[in-house]
Amino acid sequence: MTKIAVLGLGAMGLPMATRLANDFDVLAYDVSDERRKLAEKAGLKVAADTPKAVEGADVALVAVRNAAQLEALLYGPGGIVAALPKGAVVILTSTVGIAAAESVAVRLEKDGIGLVDAPVSGGPTRAGEGDLLVACGALPRDFEKAREVLEAMAGKLVLVGDEPGKGQALKTVNQLLCGVHIAAAGEALALAGKLGLDQRTALEALMSGAAESFMLGHRGPRAIEAYEGGDPDVASRLDIFVKDMGIVTSAAKDVGMAVPVAAAAEQLYLMGYVRGQGAMDDSTVIRVLAPDSEG
């Protein structure tokens, strides 16, 4: 049986690990004691540290927050590269940007380890169901080594390029749309409130017409809760979109392209971040647009 080390048990890592444990030998780890305990409650085997997690692993599935955490996990104190068997592959499910994935791939290749650049999209619920969008960039040999694991994670598995970095490129485009859609949903619902409409009735109506979108339907109820002064459950932190929209605008600059809509959305997330909303749900961006609605 394929042995998988899942490293990072956050909102996406834990449900992915739980799903994969149905079909593979999974050993999980997270730096957070709380997340490790949650993993054990979910029935997962949990390692004592990162080197033990990857000992004898065929695949190391990485679910970290950003490029700095990826660097620390691979090459920092207790880094997994020294403990991973030669010929293993790292599946990078995180959004870290094109350059970071390309750089890590070169270094891992020198250490005899392949990188499958496979950022995921779909949210925690779909992660637990094995129904994610998984966009891959990888050398053919590494993709084939990881294919069985990727197929167990994915509702839609797309090989977008034969080298690491291409998965990040598609995820960058994906996050442009997601970030803009969440911001637009917040703006629309804030305007509905200011115009004296019942926001829940407005949301129901909008989801029945041409303005319908996944983000409007998924984030809309939580945005309304935030508008009313509540603190919605955190499905995706606002500071994740500070990072991701920064990746979007930087990538666009690198190719000499203007992305004015994405740049405007990025500023909204930054404004929310400086207001102390970084750890709140990203739907609370509505408060930036209607700060007097917080109760």
118-138 burial code (b ≥16 CB/10 A, e <16): bbbbbbbebbbebebbbbbbb
Helix (H, G, I), strand (E, B) or coil at 249: helix
- Which member of 41, 156, 166, 171 is catalytic? 171
Sign of CA dihedral 111, 113, 117, 123: negative
In angstroms, the CA 28 to CA 89 distance is: 16
Q: How far is CA 282 from CA 60, 86, 225, 238, in A?
A: 29, 40, 12, 4
Residue 145 appears among annotated catalytic residues: no
Q: Pick the closest to residue 20 from 104, 170, 132 (CA basis).
A: 132
User: Which residue carries 């020294």 as its tokens?
Assistant: 82
Number of residues assigned to the chain:
295
Q: Where would I find the H helices in the chain?
A: 13-20, 33-41, 50-54, 67-75, 98-110, 124-129, 140-153, 166-194, 199-206, 214-227, 238-254, 260-272, 286-289
* Beta carbons within 8 Å of 295's beta carbon, 6+ residues apart: 228, 229, 230
Query: H or E segment at 91?
Result: strand 89-92
- In this structure, the strands spanning 59-62 and 25-29 are unpaired
- In this structure, the strands spanning 59-62 and 114-117 are unpaired
Q: Pick the closest to residue 179 from 262, 272, 271, 284 (CA basis).
A: 262
| Residues with catalytic function | 171
